[in-house]
Structure 1
Protein backbone atom coordinates (compact mmCIF):
# COMPACT_ATOMS: atom_id res chain seq x y z
CA UNK A 1 0.00 0.00 0.00
CA UNK A 2 2.84 2.39 0.76
CA UNK A 3 4.19 2.17 -2.77
CA UNK A 4 0.74 3.01 -4.16
CA UNK A 5 0.29 6.00 -1.85
CA UNK A 6 3.57 7.48 -3.05
CA UNK A 7 2.47 7.49 -6.70
CA UNK A 8 0.80 10.41 -8.43
CA UNK A 9 -2.82 10.29 -9.53
CA UNK A 10 -1.76 9.91 -13.15
CA UNK A 11 0.43 6.92 -12.32
CA UNK A 12 -2.37 5.36 -10.28
CA UNK A 13 -4.86 5.80 -13.11
CA UNK A 14 -2.41 4.21 -15.55
CA UNK A 15 -1.84 1.30 -13.17
CA UNK A 16 -5.61 0.95 -12.71
CA UNK A 17 -6.11 0.66 -16.46
CA UNK A 18 -3.35 -1.94 -16.68
CA UNK A 19 -4.83 -3.99 -13.83
CA UNK A 20 -8.31 -3.88 -15.37
CA UNK A 21 -6.91 -4.96 -18.74
CA UNK A 22 -4.99 -7.80 -17.12
CA UNK A 23 -8.11 -8.92 -15.23
CA UNK A 24 -10.10 -8.91 -18.46
CA UNK A 25 -7.40 -10.98 -20.19
CA UNK A 26 -7.24 -13.50 -17.35
CA UNK A 27 -11.01 -13.92 -17.39
CA UNK A 28 -10.94 -14.49 -21.14
CA UNK A 29 -8.21 -17.13 -20.75
CA UNK A 30 -10.29 -18.93 -18.15
CA UNK A 31 -13.42 -18.73 -20.30
CA UNK A 32 -11.67 -20.14 -23.34
CA UNK A 33 -9.71 -22.67 -21.32
CA UNK A 34 -6.46 -21.64 -22.95
CA UNK A 35 -4.49 -21.20 -19.74
CA UNK A 36 -4.16 -22.70 -16.31
CA UNK A 37 -4.95 -19.61 -14.26
CA UNK A 38 -6.16 -20.03 -10.72
CA UNK A 39 -8.84 -18.10 -8.96
CA UNK A 40 -6.18 -16.58 -6.72
CA UNK A 41 -4.94 -14.56 -9.69
CA UNK A 42 -8.37 -13.02 -10.19
CA UNK A 43 -8.73 -12.35 -6.48
CA UNK A 44 -5.34 -10.64 -6.32
CA UNK A 45 -6.12 -8.46 -9.33
CA UNK A 46 -9.49 -7.45 -7.91
CA UNK A 47 -7.87 -6.55 -4.60
CA UNK A 48 -5.20 -4.50 -6.37
CA UNK A 49 -7.90 -2.62 -8.31
CA UNK A 50 -9.80 -1.97 -5.07
CA UNK A 51 -6.67 -0.65 -3.36
CA UNK A 52 -5.92 1.70 -6.23
CA UNK A 53 -9.51 2.98 -6.26
CA UNK A 54 -9.37 3.52 -2.49
CA UNK A 55 -6.20 5.57 -2.72
CA UNK A 56 -7.56 7.59 -5.66
CA UNK A 57 -10.68 8.33 -3.59
CA UNK A 58 -8.57 9.43 -0.64
CA UNK A 59 -6.57 11.76 -2.87
CA UNK A 60 -9.77 13.23 -4.33
CA UNK A 61 -11.24 13.89 -0.88
CA UNK A 62 -7.98 15.48 0.27
CA UNK A 63 -8.18 18.16 -2.44
Structure 2
Protein backbone atom coordinates (compact mmCIF):
# COMPACT_ATOMS: atom_id res chain seq x y z
CA UNK A 1 0.00 0.00 0.00
CA UNK A 2 1.37 3.36 -1.03
CA UNK A 3 1.41 6.35 1.30
CA UNK A 4 -0.37 8.47 -1.33
CA UNK A 5 -3.25 5.99 -1.36
CA UNK A 6 -3.51 6.17 2.41
CA UNK A 7 -3.48 9.98 2.47
CA UNK A 8 -6.31 10.07 -0.09
CA UNK A 9 -8.65 8.17 2.25
CA UNK A 10 -11.02 9.66 4.79
CA UNK A 11 -10.53 9.04 8.52
CA UNK A 12 -13.42 6.56 8.51
CA UNK A 13 -11.86 4.63 5.65
CA UNK A 14 -8.55 4.61 7.52
CA UNK A 15 -10.23 3.18 10.60
CA UNK A 16 -11.85 0.44 8.54
CA UNK A 17 -8.58 -0.37 6.79
CA UNK A 18 -6.72 -0.44 10.11
CA UNK A 19 -9.26 -2.85 11.59
CA UNK A 20 -8.98 -5.13 8.57
CA UNK A 21 -5.18 -5.13 8.73
CA UNK A 22 -5.16 -5.88 12.45
CA UNK A 23 -7.51 -8.79 11.85
CA UNK A 24 -5.24 -10.05 9.07
CA UNK A 25 -2.22 -9.65 11.34
CA UNK A 26 -3.91 -11.77 14.00
CA UNK A 27 -4.74 -14.45 11.44
CA UNK A 28 -1.16 -14.45 10.16
CA UNK A 29 0.20 -14.83 13.70
CA UNK A 30 -2.20 -17.70 14.28
CA UNK A 31 -1.09 -19.38 11.04
CA UNK A 32 2.55 -18.97 12.04
CA UNK A 33 1.93 -20.54 15.44
CA UNK A 34 0.23 -23.56 13.87
CA UNK A 35 2.84 -23.91 11.13
CA UNK A 36 0.46 -23.10 8.27
CA UNK A 37 1.93 -19.76 7.22
CA UNK A 38 3.12 -19.85 3.60
CA UNK A 39 3.78 -16.18 2.78
CA UNK A 40 6.09 -15.12 5.58
CA UNK A 41 6.82 -11.76 3.96
CA UNK A 42 3.15 -10.79 4.36
CA UNK A 43 3.65 -10.44 8.13
CA UNK A 44 6.19 -7.66 7.64
CA UNK A 45 4.10 -6.01 4.93
CA UNK A 46 0.97 -5.90 7.10
CA UNK A 47 2.92 -4.55 10.07
CA UNK A 48 4.31 -1.71 7.96
CA UNK A 49 0.92 -0.91 6.46
CA UNK A 50 -0.50 -0.60 9.98
CA UNK A 51 2.32 1.77 10.89
CA UNK A 52 1.70 3.86 7.76
CA UNK A 53 -2.00 4.21 8.54
CA UNK A 54 -1.30 5.18 12.15
CA UNK A 55 1.25 7.75 11.01
CA UNK A 56 -1.15 9.39 8.56
CA UNK A 57 -3.92 9.38 11.17
CA UNK A 58 -1.62 11.10 13.66
CA UNK A 59 -0.58 13.68 11.08
CA UNK A 60 -4.17 14.56 10.25
CA UNK A 61 -5.04 14.78 13.95
CA UNK A 62 -2.08 17.12 14.52
CA UNK A 63 -3.19 19.35 11.65
CA UNK A 64 -6.68 19.69 13.11
CA UNK A 65 -5.39 20.52 16.59
Q: TM-score range by the shorter chain?
A: over 0.9
Q: Tell me the C-alpha RMSD between the 2 structures.
A: 0.9
Q: State the 1:3 CA deviation.
A: 0.9
**Aligned match of 2:52:** 51
Q: Any gaps of 5 or more consecutive residues in structure 1? A: none
Instruction: Call closer, same or farther: CA 1:6–1:15 in 2, change over 3 Å.
Output: same
Cα deviation for residue 36 of structure 1 reads 1.8
| Aligned length, in residue pairs | 62
Does residue 11 in structure 1 map to residue 13 in structure 2?
yes
Q: TM-score scaled by structure 1?
A: 0.92
TM-score, normalisation: structure 2: 0.89
- Could you say what secondary structure the match of 1:18 adopts? helix
2:37, 2:50 → 1: CA distance?
Answer: 22
Tell me, in whole angstroms, the C-alpha distance in 1 between the residues paired with 2:42 and 2:37.
Answer: 12
| Residue ranges of structure 2 left out of the alignment (5+ in a row) | none
